[in-house]
Amino acid sequence: MADPARAQRMAKRISSIVASSIAHDIKDPRLAHVTITDTKMTNDLHDATVFYTVMGESIDAEPDYEAAAAGLAKATGILRSKVGAGTGVRFTPTLSFVLDTVPDAARHMEELVARARANDELVARQAKQAQPAGDADPYRSKDEDGEDGSRE
């Protein structure tokens, strides 16, 4: 059983090797907009899960997730050999690529927070203009005679 700290260091190293290999060594156009976001390593150092995200060609363009997944599947062997050469470990870990959903979840959470803020502002505006339904002071107070107004 390997040390969890060693597995974490190895995961960081694998992330940087895979990212630089995609950027500089692999000439597949399907991987042009792929970004490596994180890597998780098993404690026995045999399996690495590489998380990635895909950007569109422009801000308005929809990313092509299927093409990126196919490009990564085709380049897995080359990337694994680069990881083996770059880490120098006895057993080169297997690489599996998983689309990272954290950016989409974060964007969805930001939209929900913005909607909640807008609703809060609407409620605050309505509360400013609100009038009490009954008397201005609904609580009993002492009347002019000095009595507290309670029934005895």
- Domain segments of the chain as ranges: 4-99, 101-130
pLDDT of residue 85: 92
pLDDT of residue 127: 86
pLDDT of residue 139: 74
Q: Which CATH number fits domain 4-99: 1.20.210.10, 3.40.50.10800, 3.30.300.20, 3.40.309.10?
A: 3.30.300.20
pLDDT of residue 146: 57
Binned average pLDDT, 10 residues per bin, the chain of 152 residues = 83 95 91 92 93 87 89 94 91 93 86 94 88 71 60 52
40 in helix, strand or coil? Answer: strand
CA distance 139 to 26: 77
CA angle 38, 42, 44 (to 5 degrees): 145
- List CB contacts of 137: < 8 A, sequence separation 6 or more: none
Q: What is the value of pTM for the model shown?
A: 0.69
Using alpha carbons, select from 76, 1, 63 the residue that is nearest to residue 32. Answer: 63
pLDDT of residue 3: 81
Q: What is the CA 42 to chain-centroid distance, rounded?
A: 21
